[in-house]
Amino acid sequence: MNSNLIWLVALPLIGSAVAAIVVRYKFLDRLITFLTFATTLFVLFSVHVGQSYSWGLNFLGTTLNLTLNVSHLSIFMLYISIAFGTVLTFYSLIDHSRMKGFLLLLILAANNWIFMSNDMVGFFFAWELMGWASVVSVLGGREREKSRHAALYYMIMSVSGSYSMFFGIFTLWRLTGTFSISANIAYLSSIVGIHPWWVLGIVSLFFVTFMIKAGIFPFHTWVPLAYAYSPDAFTPFLSAVMSKYGIYGMLLFMPLSLMERGFPSAFGGVPWTNYIFVWIGVITAVLGTVLAIFQDDVKKLFAYSSLSNLGYVVAAIALFTPVGITAGIFHAFNHLLFKGTLFITLLAVISRSGTSKLSEMGGLWKKMPITFFTFFVGIASAAGIPPFNGFGSKWLIYQAMIKQHLPFATILLFLASTGAFMYLFKAFHSIFLGQLSHDYDRVKEVSAVGKITEFFLMFAMTFFGVQPGYILKPIGAIVKSMGLKPLPVMANGYVTGMFSNIYVPLISWSLAVSFTLGFILFFVSAKHKYVSQENNYTAGQIPEDWGLTPETYQFSWNFYQPVEKLFAPFFRIKIDGFFRGTGDWTKTIGSAIKEIFVGNAQMYAFFAIVGLIIFVIAGWMA
């Protein structure tokens, strides 16, 4: 019995209650949020693998055993989520968006409960708490109407996912008579050889929920809406931490694929079910990338980018090989770090410029140099450029895919990676490079708190890029706990996949030496003088004669027009044809259903509760 585990859930709840009381004073609300996050992180230091806590809940004459259990996977997820939350809430002290701190603390409580829970009732309850708190958090973006719509959409997706999981939980409970997650998974793996389709059906019910939460194709549609229209300070948490709940859930059920002898294996010794899932991940990665290239709203662009990165993670963990799982979890961590950083810098940029439209920004690098560098390191990480942190995991993912002899999936992932470079550069150019509009002449760099956060994040991205061993070792423990052989990681930087090895610090040294040489060559060669941004080569024309201003002399609209032409047939078929057809069909059915329902959110919530009660009663009667 380790009562410190209960504090991980109780402390954020208490903090949330206090913050909710003082929510009118924004700074106080944010301060309590930050302090609670920091304290929770402090409490987490006393938590170790193997600790557990359980208590009985007497519910209508039946005793429910709620159990908290700390596994290798849960402690890893707890550390990365709470640490990132602490950084984010520290930054949010100076933020002015309408994020509510107490909601974030509710999500933190749910977060800790989800990662520690070993019973499905607690898991479901925490999942719902997280879902509802995040839906309410999405409300209150800069554009009220759109964020309301986004929240509603997110809620409907979330609720349908919850129904699916609820159904799965009670099906399992009928079969085993227990809510314990580990017992149920053990049961499933014992019958998977005899009834593979049954197991697949039950696990699919859970996976629908996890795929919705992680935003995996075909359940990705809520992601761009919710990310783009949520409060700017909440988006980093949504993208960095909350998308990982789905990945965590998937990882819980993944060890089943070890036993999947019931299914014939597809190519490269991957079971069919996993093979399909690999392709779902690959499609998500490519789809996210291609759609991100054409976005003009920067938050939407990075929402699609998150989609794409989670596709990578799913493709890697679905392989269920030592390299695959390591690469997947490592990429999940790296995505948390660099996408969190990118959204935090976007928060800084949007708060200073007041817009999230790429075509309205430009040239901000001279005004916000530290944010510029943080963003640069962020996109370098996201593009997988060494020595920053995204490189190791992308490299491992390719190794994992190739090891299973899946060249086509790998080629598509490579395409997604090249495409990622395109949209990242588009965002980079349109925000920071190019001509600075005179509207932004008075834009200032973020204040000291923001600078500290940005320096810290830059350091973290470089550190985990140069020394991936600090993350790969705990991941090795996770891989071992799943019954696989962990990858050898030596001296914190020597990574060996199946096909080749890299010693990451060596790359950094090589870069350090070559940059030194580059700088020396730069400074010994002839002098240069700095000129203003208007001092450009314009082929002999005088821009003022045409009435050109910095805004009009900035290339950011229709950035990848040739690519758009290239993908135009696909867009016509996929979006206009398929989705509109589906949309019309849904509309027809929807309007039929609308005859019965009134169509406001309260009614949906009411029906959700009625549905829940029916399920519970059905569970009791059976």
Partner 1 sequence: MTILLKLIQGIGVGALSIAVGLLFIGIGRKITARIQRRYGPPPIQNFFDIFKLLSKRSISHGFAFDLGLIAGFSALLAAVVFLPMGQINIFPHNSSLIMIIYLMTMAYLGMAMGVSSSGNPNATIGIARALTMMMGYEVPFAAVIFSVYIFSRTGSLANIVAAQSGGFLNWNLVRLPFGFVAAEIALQGMLGEKPFDMTIAPSEIASGPMVEMGGKYLGFGMLQHSIGLFIETGIMVDLFLGGASNIWIFIAKQFVLYFAALMINAIMPRFRIEEGVSFMWKFPLLLGVVQALIVVL
Near partner 1 in 552-571, by CB under 8 A = 553-555, 559-560, 562-563, 565-566
Instruction: Provide the β-strand partners of residue 66.
Output: 55
Three-state DSSP state, 54: strand
CB 109 within 8 A of CB 16: yes
Residues 560-619 that bind partner 1 (CB under 8 A): 560, 562-563, 565-566
Nearer to partner 1, 353 or 399 (CB): 399
Residues 392-411 that bind partner 1 (CB under 8 A): 394-395, 398-399, 402, 405, 407-408, 410-411
Among 46, 204, 501, 600, interactor with partner 1 by CB under 8 A: 501
Residue 370 binds to partner 1 (criterion: CB under 8 A): no
Residues near partner 1 (CB under 8 A), total:
79
Would you give the binding string for partner 1 spanning residues 459-498, x where CB under 8 A is met?
--------------------------------------x-
Residue 334 has a CB neighbour count (10 Å cut-off) of 28
Would you give the binding string for partner 1 spanning residues 333-362, x where CB under 8 A is met?
------------------------------
* Minimum gap (Å) between residue 427 Cβ and partner 1: 12
Range in contact with partner 1 (rule: CB under 8 A) among 69-77, 230-238, 462-470, 505-513: 505-513
Nearer to partner 1, 39 or 492 (CB): 492
Residues 521-540 that bind partner 1 (CB under 8 A): 521-522, 525-531, 533-537, 539
Residue 386 binds to partner 1 (criterion: CB under 8 A): yes
Residue 542 binds to partner 1 (criterion: CB under 8 A): no
Q: Tell me, what DSSP letter sits at residue 435? A: P
* Minimum gap (Å) between residue 578 Cβ and partner 1: 22
Nearest in space to 564 (alpha carbons), one of 409, 419, 414: 419
Nearest in space to 109 (alpha carbons), one of 39, 25, 26: 39
Residue 75's alpha-carbon distances to 70, 122, 429, 470, in angstroms, are 6, 18, 39, 14
Cis peptide before 387 (omega within 30 of 0): yes
Range in contact with partner 1 (rule: CB under 8 A) among 214-222, 228-236, 347-355, 386-394: 386-394
* Minimum gap (Å) between residue 393 Cβ and partner 1: 12
Three-state DSSP state, 262: coil
Nearest in space to 309 (alpha carbons), one of 277, 294, 287: 287
Three-state DSSP state, 45: coil
Residue 58 binds to partner 1 (criterion: CB under 8 A): no
Phi, psi of 184 (to 5 degrees): -65, -40
Residue 471 has a CB neighbour count (10 Å cut-off) of 23
CB 107 within 8 A of CB 51: no
H-helix segments, 388-447: 390-403, 407-432
Residue 175 binds to partner 1 (criterion: CB under 8 A): no
Range in contact with partner 1 (rule: CB under 8 A) among 230-238, 245-253, 520-528, 611-619: 520-528
CB 43 within 8 A of CB 106: no
Residue 330's alpha-carbon distances to 85, 313, 457, 464, in angstroms, are 18, 9, 17, 10
* Minimum gap (Å) between residue 113 Cβ and partner 1: 39
Among 419, 465, 468, 493, interactor with partner 1 by CB under 8 A: 419
Range in contact with partner 1 (rule: CB under 8 A) among 10-18, 118-126, 343-351, 382-390: 382-390
Residue 266 binds to partner 1 (criterion: CB under 8 A): no
CB 325 within 8 A of CB 344: no
Nearer to partner 1, 212 or 379 (CB): 379
Q: Tell me, what DSSP letter sits at residue 553? A: T
Three-state DSSP state, 347: helix
Among 415, 449, 452, 612, interactor with partner 1 by CB under 8 A: 415
Residue 153 binds to partner 1 (criterion: CB under 8 A): no
Among 69, 184, 308, 435, interactor with partner 1 by CB under 8 A: 435
End-to-end, the C-alpha distance of the chain in Å comes to 34
Nearer to partner 1, 59 or 522 (CB): 522
474: which 2 tokens? 């705990």
